[in-house]
Structure 1
């Protein structure tokens, strides 16, 4: 765990914040650093898109059966709500996701987009301190969305219209985790999504649980950020990113699914 200069104990640190990676739970290569936003710019990095929307995966046998079920629920939900297809790795495909309980850096983290070869998605299993990444399928979906090429919602160029970032409450070494991108890197035309599974919670990287790092504007009083399920916006963004909305029948199908199943 990171030695954070705050009043939070290790057991209270969110597992998305523990690895010390980019914005807590993302591993980036240098060529991608300047292109992060809500989604990878596929015109700049087309090779980061999973080919034909097919994502081979392998789940570590080190997980308990109940944890494997949680991961499979996340995969089946993404398969149903989008035209992306996660398929069990056949042992031959060069590029695939290896879902593994990595011990160092431990926590919930993923590379962003298709990295190539055997690509780790780290999902820390439950322990004496709590459920970590596998209390529900929401945490697993969050990291799988990173692997598909989706970044955090509050990094949007227009986020200051919708949320206020309280820099004075952020642990100083993690202030860069709240950077935003310019309009030049915009990849989606969807409205800001407070309910996104990709949004930080109000005290992420805070010096104290009583000091919020993000609060809402626009008279929005609901909780921000959740790790339960895809929001309607998450669902539409993923489908848009992978061309699932490019023809009328598919667009109608996935708009209906997103509106019906998204929170």
Structure 2
């Protein structure tokens, strides 16, 4: 998926691919305005293992029309990814004529967008960068992570537990960019929702997709406001969750310190989720309440993920106790927290 300029994987059933291009001519925006809908839309990390780059080697070709400074910015983002992953996990190599699969990085008049992962049929993946895409290094980084196979964070099936989406306030042609998707291939279905991810929409993208430049069509629920309000510019770095997800999909180890940072975030988001469920979801089922659906199952997965790394700490024991208390509290009522929501793949909810 793609970004407006200056803006800047998750569950189990099936995969759908969307083919489309950005249509922005009738929206009054400056000349450099990237699209929200790209050439090939994947709905989680690693839509299909075939879309991952074998051995993590991404062959690339950079169009000669980029300026020296722009080429340096692209190279800097590539080196950043390489340096933050386990040695040899991901490699970016200039394409030779014998390299059949590669990503062609080229200028664009008005958009920042990338193919999701390795494109099989045409063999050439594409990454487009307009001039304004270079105003924030986070945008180039975001698009390169798309090239590795990642889609947007806010289309995860569990997103409604963490953010509110006003589908009616989103322009029709952009609603697919906010529609939740499911991917049975994903190796990262247990990682928690990451509000700080480099792959999450932020204020400028949200405003652009709305009918009236309203940044409230996607907003963080109150329980998680201390983690992020999505108002900042595209992050200039990968989060520990981003790194974990890339590493799991490409079967890599982790550099020192990543596990500790990841456990810290799992701690923060899991406790916040449990507090949200306890405060807002212990009531009879309401068909129009999307903030609680499947909450117990999601919280259970996050606690299990936490257990893999840190099952002795007081915080983990507290979370485990809270989860048990919530289960006991909802045992006698029909609460959304205990139901899995049916996801409509053709609209925004």
The reply to whether TM is greater than 0.5 is yes
CA contact (8 A) 2:32 2:111 kept: no
| 3-state SS in 2 of match to 1:71 | helix
Q: Does 1:77 align with 2:85?
A: no
* Residue 111 of structure 1: how far off its partner (Å): 1.0
Give aligned pairs, total. 228
Q: Does 1:2 align with 2:24?
A: yes
| 3-state SS in 2 of match to 1:91 | coil
Question: Which residue number corresponds to residue 53 of structure 2?
Answer: 50
* Residue 38 of structure 1: how far off its partner (Å): 2.5
| 3-state SS in 1 of match to 2:99 | coil
Q: Does 1:229 align with 2:234?
A: no
Q: Which has the higher helix share?
A: 2
* Residue 123 of structure 1: how far off its partner (Å): 0.8
Question: Which residue number corresponds to residue 220 of structure 1?
Answer: 225
Aligned partner of 1:68 among 64, 71, 82:
71
Question: Which residue number corresponds to residue 166 of structure 2?
Answer: 166
Matches of 2:237 and 2:111 in 1, distance apart? 19
Unaligned runs of 5+ in 2: 1-22, 266-349
Q: TM-score, normalised by structure 2?
A: 0.59
* Residue 62 of structure 1: how far off its partner (Å): 0.5
Matches of 2:261 and 2:127 in 1, distance apart? 25
Quick one: structure 1 residues 176 and 255, their matched pair in 2 at CA, closer, same or farther if it must change by over 3 Å? same
CA contact (8 A) 2:84 2:255 kept: no
Question: Which residue number corresponds to residue 316 of structure 2?
Answer: none
Question: Which residue number corresponds to residue 239 of structure 1?
Answer: 247
Unaligned runs of 5+ in 1: 18-23, 126-131, 245-249
Aligned partner of 1:91 among 68, 79, 97:
97
CA contact (8 A) 2:70 2:134 kept: yes
| 3-state SS in 1 of match to 2:133 | coil
Structure 1 residues 78-117: Cα deviation after superposition (integer angstroms, max 9, x where no partner)? 11112111112223211111110034xx401111111042
Matches of 2:200 and 2:93 in 1, distance apart? 27
CA contact (8 A) 2:44 2:182 kept: no
Matches of 2:172 and 2:65 in 1, distance apart? 36
Question: Which residue number corresponds to residue 30 of structure 2?
Answer: 11
* 1:73-152 aligned within 5 A: 73-82=76-85, 83-103=89-109, 106-116=110-120, 117-125=123-131, 132-152=132-152
Q: TM-score, normalised by structure 1?
A: 0.77
State the structure with more CA Rg.
Answer: 2
CA contact (8 A) 2:116 2:146 kept: yes
Matches of 1:57 and 1:173 in 2, distance apart? 31
More moved, 208-217 vs 153-162: 208-217
* Residue 3 of structure 1: how far off its partner (Å): 3.5
Question: Which residue number corresponds to residue 193 of structure 1?
Answer: 194
* 1:200-215 aligned within 5 A: 200-202=201-203, 203-204=206-207, 205-215=209-219
